[in-house]
Amino acid sequence: MRDPIILEQVKRTLESLTSKAPGRAIEVRVPPYAAVQCGEGPTHTRGTPANVIEMDATTWLALANGEISWAAALDSGAISASGVRADLTEYLPLRINS
């Protein structure tokens, strides 16, 4: 079951990511809450995307808020990332106005 507060936070921060990194080269998945495509590069249209990033909501929100670094989360195994563009370092943390 999805927590409605976390759902809102995840959706808001992913929306901010897509504004900061427009495009469709990277798919960012935060199951079971949401998934978005972002980042410049080859556009993904069908099948499994070439660049996929997946993590839980706690990790995503900590990254978005600057509570952990991309490198630390990746090294700890909290992020699953595949593809040459599957790195959000340049976009994080996000600056979100509550």
Q: Is residue 24 part of a domain?
A: yes
Burial of 35 (0-12, 13-18, 19+ CB in 10 A): middle
pLDDT in tens, 7-66: 999 999 999 999 999 998 999 999 999 999 999 887 756 667 789 999 999 999 999 999
Name 53's bridge partners: 28, 81
For the chain, the domain total comes to: 1
Is 96 domain-assigned?
no
Q: What stretch of H or E contains 76?
A: helix 70-76
Q: What is the CATH number of the domain that holds 29?
A: 3.30.1050.40
- pTM more than 0.75: yes
Residue 73 inside a domain? The answer is no
Instruction: Give me the pLDDT at residue 4, please.
Output: 96
Domain span at residue 28 reads 1-51
Cα–Cα distance for residue pair 35/53, rounded to 1 Å = 10
